[in-house]
């Protein structure tokens, strides 16, 4: 399996509900480093997994929709704890939609799977991955 990874980051504010979150129940900020890994069993006609430039632009665009936002104020997340795990899935789904829409080029339809990993710090991260 071949893979390509692109990386970017975004900053948010949010709070959590539930005793399990302790002090994180209060409003706090997070800066996530995001790795987007895309995989396919064979290279496309151009000899690549996906156009890295387009992948970088799409990741930046998706993260731009979240950057510098208080997620507590976003209607799309009402009633949800916007944990790192939850946000990895949100970003995955938004990128998958853009692949389907053709924003990563015609050969991206040959991608087999994808993984989105959000690094909270140098010692903690969470990811979501599945087949496409």
Domains of the chain and any CATH numbers = 2-131 (3.30.479.10)
Give every CB contact of residue 15 below 8 A, 6+ residues apart in sequence.
24, 25, 26, 27, 28, 72
pLDDT digits (tens, 9 = 90+) for 17-39: 999 999 999 999 999 999 999 99
- Please state, in angstroms and rounded to a whole number, the distance separating the CA atoms of residues 28 and 8: 21
Tokens coding 41:
């069993």
Phi-psi region of 41 (alpha: psi -120 to 50; beta: other; left: phi over 0): alpha
pLDDT in tens, 64-117: 999 999 999 999 999 999 999 999 999 999 999 999 999 999 989 899 999 999
pLDDT at 2: 98
Residues 6 or more apart whose CB falls under 8 angstroms from that of 92 comprise 114, 115, 116, 128, 129, 130
Q: Could you tell me the sign of the dihedral formed by the alpha carbons of 54, 59, 64, 65, in that order?
A: positive
Instruction: Select from 48, 80, 65 the least CA-distant residue to 12.
Output: 65
Report the pLDDT value the prediction gives residue 49, as an integer from 0 to 100. 97
DSSP-derived 3-state class of residue 127: strand
Instruction: Tell me which residue has tokens 């504010």.
Output: 13
């Amino acid at each position: 399996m071949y893979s390509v990874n692109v990386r970017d980051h975004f900053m948010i504010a949010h709070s959590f509900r539930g005793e399990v979150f302790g002090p994180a129940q209060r409003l706090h900020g997070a800066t996530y480093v995001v790795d987007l890994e895309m995989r396919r069993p064979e290279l496309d006609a151009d000899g690549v997994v996906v156009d890295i430039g387009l992948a970088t632009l799409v990741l930046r665009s998706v993260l731009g929709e979240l950057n510098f936002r208080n997620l507590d104020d976003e209607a799309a997340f009402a009633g949800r704890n916007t944990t790192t795990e939850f946000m990895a899935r949100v970003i995955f789904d938004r990128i998958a939609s853009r692949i389907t829409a053709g924003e990563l080029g015609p050969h991206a339809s040959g991608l087999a799977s994808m993984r989105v990993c959000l690094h909270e710090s140098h010692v903690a991260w969470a990811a979501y991955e599945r087949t496409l």
